[in-house]
Amino acid sequence: MKKVLKRILTGLFIVLFPFVVFYIFLIFNINRHITIEYGNILTWEDILKKDFNINWQSKTDLATMTEVGDYKFKVSYFMFNYVVHLQIKDTTAPKVNVQNVVKYLDEELPTIDDFLVDIEDLSPYEIAPLNLEKRPGIQQVKIIVTDIYGNKTEQEATLNLIEYQSVPVFTGLEDLVIEYGDAPNYRKNVSVYDKRYGELNFDVDVSQVNYTKSGTYTVIYSATVPNGQKITAKRKVIIKEPPKTYKIEDFPVFNQFPDYPNGCESIALYTLLKFYNINVLPDEIVHTLKKGSGPYWENETLYGGDPEVEFVGDPQDKHGYGVYQKPIIEVANKYKPGMIDYTGHTLDDVLKLVKTGIPVQVWVSINLQDTEKCASWINPQTGQKIDWICNLHSVVVIGYNNKNVIVSDPYKGEIVNYSLQQFEKMYNLFGKRAIYYAK
């Protein structure tokens, strides 16, 4: 019996020994007590000490164990089962970024949100109450953040409480020089700025200004700061002397319509001659004026007269064109010798003549409207190309001031004020053409 029993035990040992050895091998290659930081996910790399090719299994989903605490779960291979103890801890203190705060003493004390830039922590946390003093100057502020597991972070910031002593400043209040009768925009390029409140609204008191009387006046600017402080500033306003107007009185006017729809040059000369008491009729001037052909087509080429030597078309025809100064001078000298061609001189030169009492006939556009070249043709006598600028017109300048040119206008049959700037523009465009009689 003893021999049989011994043989049985020996056989069992031989059979079981490899399993025992393998069991011990597995035990020494498993981490049966594991600790991980909160926020990490348990993996098989945490459980196994070595990376060997064994297909371990667990009925527990490792990804479900995420909260702080103690866990037990089984892992198995074949018929071998092992219990693993897992502990998830939170030992990481919150990450806290803070900033310094500057406030005015009359404002509410800042809250924790004013100091905090951000907080990073996976766990719920609490922020300790602030201990702030209502006094001017810089004070150190401790920001303490503690999560529910006792991890604490302390950060320091500063609070600077300053007293508001700034005075808002107006800019753009330079002396303002305006023309007699003008009412300028007193707000243009003016602002009032406060270092604390930024740009402020303001009021303007112009009650002291008399726009109809030259002199020096004071405009009052005022603004109210949000804290109730009121400020004022003064601005000097200088109203210039009324513009002096030079005008030749009792100058004749005559309307070119309906008889001379394109005869402005002739009618302007007529008023000029009448001013000098020359007894002549408009018809006489129109019929004396040399005339050339209006534009016409021949062999696909447009031909026409030359306004430098003749009227292009007919002054009594609404489809007529016009004439420049030289043919008008020829007519003028037949009735009153001494007409001077002043073409090429500036408008200032023309106005200087008018200032001495000499009326000057000039070439501009109808109603001073902007215009440009609108047609070209060939003069059949000379072969020269003629460029025509639309809306040609002629008037007599009889006065001016610093804003306007005063003319006897045949197109309207009345004395008209035109913008000095626009008049000069059109006068230059048509070649600075001007004629006058010397006294």
289 part of a folded domain: yes
Q: Which amino acid is at 236?
A: K
What is the token pair recorded at 347? 């408008």
* Model confidence at 3: pLDDT above 80: no
With tokens 């002199």, the residue in question is 215
Q: How high is the mean pLDDT of the chain?
A: 91
With tokens 């951000």, the residue in question is 118
| Domain identity same for 337 and 410 | yes
CA angle 263, 396, 329 (to 5 degrees): 65
Query: Which pLDDT belongs to residue 75?
Result: 86
- 259 to each of 255, 266, 391, how far by Cα in Å? 9, 12, 18
- The CATH number of whichever domain residue 409 belongs to comes to 3.90.70.10
| Domain identity same for 271 and 291 | yes
Count of CB atoms within 10 A of residue 47's CB?
Answer: 20
Confidence of residue 13 (pLDDT cuts 50, 70, 90): low
18 part of a folded domain: no
146 part of a folded domain: yes
pLDDT in tens, 366-396: 999 999 999 999 999 999 999 999 999 999 9
Answer with the one of 162, 182, 206 that is the final residue of a domain: 162
Euclidean distance between CA atoms 80 and 242, whole angstroms: 115
Confidence of residue 439 (pLDDT cuts 50, 70, 90): confident
| Domain identity same for 343 and 389 | yes
| Domain identity same for 175 and 149 | no
Euclidean distance between CA atoms 281 and 410, whole angstroms: 15
| Domain identity same for 329 and 391 | yes
pLDDT in tens, 189-217: 999 999 889 999 999 999 999 988 999 99
The model carries a pTM of 0.54
Answer with the one of 239, 265, 291 that is the final residue of a domain: 239
Which is more confidently placed, 24 or 67? 67
**Nearest CA to 25 among 72, 73, 62, 78?**
78
Helix/strand/coil (H/E/C) assignment for every residue in the chain = CHHHHHHHHHHHHHHHHHHHHHHHHHHCCECCEEEEECCCCCCHHHHECCCCCCCCECCCCHHHCCCCEEEEEEEEECCEEEEEEEEEECCCCCEEEECCEEEECCCCCCCHHHHEEEEECCCCEEECCCCCCCCCEEEEEEEEEEECCCCEEEEEEEEEEECCCCCCEEECCCCEEECCCCCCCCCCCCEEEECCCEEECCEEECCCCCCCCCEEEEEEEEEECCCCCEEEEEEEEEECCCCCCEECCCCCCCCCCCCCCCCHHHHHHHHHHHHCCCCCCHHHHHHHCCEECCCEEECCEEECCCCCCCEECCCCCCCCCECCHHHHHHHHHHHCCCEEECCCCCHHHHHHHHHCCCCEEEEEEHHHCCCCEEEEEECCCCCCEEEEECCEEEEEEEEECCCEEEEEECCCCEEEEEEHHHHHHHHHHCCCCEEEECC
- Cβ distance 347 to 430 under 8 Å? no
9 part of a folded domain: no
pLDDT in tens, 80-121: 788 999 999 999 999 999 999 999 888 899 999 999 999 998
Query: Which pLDDT belongs to residue 57?
Result: 84
**Backbone angles phi and psi of 231, in degrees to 5:** -130, 155
| Domain identity same for 345 and 417 | yes
- Strands 230-239, 176-178: pairing kind: parallel
- The CATH number of whichever domain residue 152 belongs to comes to 2.60.40.10
Which is more confidently placed, 63 or 308? 308
Euclidean distance between CA atoms 88 and 69, whole angstroms: 5
| Domain identity same for 104 and 74 | no
| Domain identity same for 283 and 382 | yes
| Domain identity same for 135 and 210 | no
Count of CB atoms within 10 A of residue 433's CB?
Answer: 21
Euclidean distance between CA atoms 225 and 141, whole angstroms: 31
Query: Which pLDDT belongs to residue 71?
Result: 94
24 part of a folded domain: no
CA dihedral 368, 373, 375, 380 (to 10 degrees): 100
| Domain identity same for 320 and 257 | yes
Q: Which amino acid is at 177?
A: V
**Nearest CA to 75 among 85, 66, 65, 88?**
85
- Strands 33-37, 169-171: pairing kind: unpaired
CA angle 215, 221, 226 (to 5 degrees): 175
140 part of a folded domain: yes
- Structural domain of residue 135, as residue ranges? 95-162
| Domain identity same for 102 and 85 | no
Q: How many domains does the chain have?
A: 4
- Strands 385-389, 125-127: pairing kind: unpaired
Per cent of the chain over pLDDT 70 is 93
Query: Which pLDDT belongs to residue 327?
Result: 98
158 part of a folded domain: yes
Taking the mean position of all CA atoms in its chain, how far away is CA 85? 70
Spell out the residues 6+ positions from residue 64 whose beta carbon is closer than 8 angstroms to its own. none
**Backbone angles phi and psi of 333, in degrees to 5:** -70, -20
pLDDT in tens, 286-334: 999 999 999 999 999 999 999 999 999 999 999 999 999 999 999 999 9
Give the orientation angle of helix 420-429 with respect to helix 347-355, to 10 degrees.
120
Q: Which amino acid is at 415?
A: I
| Domain identity same for 108 and 210 | no
